[in-house]
Structures are given as structure tokens and as C-alpha cells.
């Protein structure tokens, strides 16, 4: 294991199945951790309550540390940063990037009216949410410590295929009737975003970002295309008639909830590349 890497991935889970190959293809050195040290990863488990620096001694120095697991304990985000710094000397400043969830915006006031349909990264979020509080704690370390948060919407790719979700989220016509929008992003585009932040951390430091594939999907539209024959597709047709919907997808104003992630892609001069659902 090298003593220094470009990117240290804390938690080699689903995201790493896209991120590791991308690092290899771009010549970006990396290391990744798992609880057991499986598949050539470093055995590491973060205890959010512990002040013991010993587990961190197994980790290499890194230009960027990516935290893929959720942190929900008060003080834990700062402890993670401080324990890493304590065990990794006085080299160049390490940037810390947390992967979060756009769910922190879902707990806010009900969105009503055209003027309040859209949510972007500056919109009010639920500050009582445990993950949101941990993110705020991490961001507060900036500018002394470079920190940033990428809040992700629905993740798809590999084994995660939206077409397989329809029966679960819409088991009945009434359940389907309540479904509005869904926002998605492919694992490859998450990985491209992570590496863009890694390479231009100065643009990200101290900021929370909202990340989607720049699209608003309609559950009725997806259910009509991918539902079980004679069930969801028929329910959609009946609901369209009952609700006076003339065509799919419904507009964000009709659904009442839409997320705007343009600022991230513009800031890092990127566009998402995986925008055809189901196509790998």
C-alpha cells in the first residue's frame, strides 16, 4: 500500500464499483477501505464515538478523502477529520468530501405553487435531519480545512435498475397515484463528479452541492413503460383520465417537486453522460 494516494475512499461500497475503474483509467492513485479488508482494501471501521487515533494509522496520506458512509452522530464529522490530521503529519492540506443525500430537502415545508416547485442547493433544508447536521459540522471546518458535501439523488447503475423498482414503489393503484417525481444519477456520473471536485477542490470548499442528472422523471411515466402487464400501465392510463393528464411525463409544476442541479455541472464544466435509463 503506498504511503500517499491522490484519493482515499472511506467505504468501498456501491459507488466504488464505478469510481475505482475511473481512477484507474485516468491514472489517479487511490486506496479504499472496508470493514473487513476484503478485495485488497484497507481494513478500517469508523467509530463515530471514539477518540482513538489508532484505526487511522493504517490509512495512507491523501490529497482528498472521500467519505461514502453516512455520519449521523453529533461531533463525529469533526472527529474524523481531526483524527486523520492527527495521524498524518504536516503535509499539504487534505480535502474532505462527504457523500450525502438530497433527502435533506424532502423534509422541508410542503412545496406549493409554481414559485416553490424547484429546489436547488441554496434552498432551505431540514436542519434537524441528523445527516444534515453532520454535513453542516463538516462544512463549518472550512476554510481552515477544505471540506465539501455532494448530496446525491436516486442512485442507479449496475445492479440498481429503476425498471426493477416499479412493482415495489407502486404495488397498488392508490400507491401509484401518490407518486410524483423521481430524480436519478448514474454511478459513473457520481464518480465523474467526485473526481471533478478532487481536481478542483478550490471551487468546492465550504459548499454543499445538489447532484442529479439534470432531469426530472415522472413515476407515472416510468410505471407506464416498465410496469407489470395489465397492472401499473393500466393504472397509469386510468389515472391520467381521472386527473385530466393528457400526456406523459407530467410537468414539474403538475407534480409539484423538482430539483435543479445546474450549478454543480456549470461550476465544474461537466455534463452528465448517463441519461438514458436502463442503458449501461
Q: How far apart are CA 59 and CA 220, in angstroms?
A: 46
Share of the chain above pLDDT 70, in %: 95
Q: Average model confidence (pLDDT) for the chain?
A: 93
Question: Does residue 86 form part of some domain?
Answer: yes
Which pLDDT score is estimated for 108? 43
Task: Count the domains in the chain.
Answer: 1
Question: Does residue 67 form part of some domain?
Answer: yes
Rounded average pLDDT over 59-69: 97
Question: Does residue 140 form part of some domain?
Answer: yes
Question: Does residue 225 form part of some domain?
Answer: no
Q: Shortest CA distance to 22 belongs to which of 66, 70, 71?
A: 66
Question: Does residue 123 form part of some domain?
Answer: yes
Which pLDDT score is estimated for 110? 35
- Containing domain of residue 40, as a range? 4-160+183-217+257-267
Rounded average pLDDT over 216-245: 95
Question: Does residue 146 form part of some domain?
Answer: yes
Note the pTM of the prediction, 2 decimals: 0.94
Question: Does residue 78 form part of some domain?
Answer: yes
Confidence band, pLDDT 50/70/90 cuts, at residue 75? very high
Q: What is the pLDDT of residues 124-179, one digit of tens each?
A: 999 999 999 999 999 999 999 999 999 999 999 999 999 999 999 999 999 999 99
CATH label of the domain that carries residue 199: 3.40.50.720
Which pLDDT score is estimated for 1? 57
Which pLDDT score is estimated for 187? 98
Q: Report whether 69 contacts 97 (CB < 8 A).
A: no
Question: Does residue 262 form part of some domain?
Answer: yes
Least trusted range by pLDDT, from 12-16, 52-56, 103-107: 103-107
pLDDT at 79 over 90: yes
Q: Shortest CA distance to 45 belongs to which of 54, 53, 35?
A: 35
Amino acid at each position: 500500500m503506498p504511503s500517499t494516494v491522490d484519493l482515499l475512499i472511506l467505504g468501498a461500497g456501491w459507488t466504488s464499483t464505478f469510481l475505482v475503474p475511473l481512477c484507474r483509467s485516468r491514472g489517479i492513485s487511490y486506496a479504499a477501505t472496508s470493514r473487513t479488508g476484503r478485495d485488497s482494501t484497507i481494513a478500517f471501521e469508523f467509530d463515530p464515538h471514539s477518540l482513538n487515533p489508532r484505526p487511522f494509522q493504517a490509512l495512507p496520506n491523501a490529497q482528498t478523502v472521500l467519505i461514502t458512509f453516512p455520519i449521523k452522530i453529533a461531533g463525529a464529522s469533526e472527529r474524523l477529520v481531526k483524527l486523520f490530521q492527527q495521524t498524518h503529519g504536516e503535509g499539504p492540506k487534505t480535502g474532505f468530501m462527504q457523500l450525502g443525500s438530497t433527502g435533506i430537502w424532502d423534509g422541508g415545508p410542503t412545496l406549493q405553487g409554481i414559485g416553490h416547485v424547484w429546489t436547488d442547493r441554496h434552498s432551505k433544508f431540514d436542519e434537524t435531519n441528523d445527516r444534515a447536521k453532520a454535513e453542516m459540522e463538516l462544512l463549518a471546518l472550512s476554510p481552515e480545512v477544505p471540506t465539501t458535501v455532494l448530496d446525491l439523488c436516486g442512485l442507479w447503475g449496475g445492479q440498481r435498475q429503476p425498471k426493477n423498482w416499479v412493482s415495489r414503489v407502486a404495488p397498488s393503484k392508490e400507491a401509484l397515484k401518490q407518486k410524483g417525481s423521481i430524480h436519478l444519477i448514474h454511478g459513473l456520473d457520481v464518480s465523474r463528479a467526485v473526481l471533478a471536485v478532487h481536481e478542483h477542490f478550490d471551487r468546492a470548499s465550504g459548499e454543499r452541492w445538489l447532484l442529479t442528472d439534470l432531469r426530472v422523471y415522472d413515476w407515472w411515466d416510468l410505471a407506464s413503460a416498465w410496469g407489470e402487464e395489465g397492472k401499473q400501465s393500466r393504472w397509469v392510463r386510468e389515472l391520467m383520465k381521472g386527473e385530466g393528464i393528457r400526456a406523459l411525463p407530467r410537468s414539474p409544476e403538475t407534480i409539484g417537486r423538482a430539483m435543479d442541479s445546474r450549478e454543480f455541472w456549470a461550476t465544474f464544466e461537466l455534463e452528465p453522460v448517463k441519461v438514458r435509463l436502463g442503458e449501461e
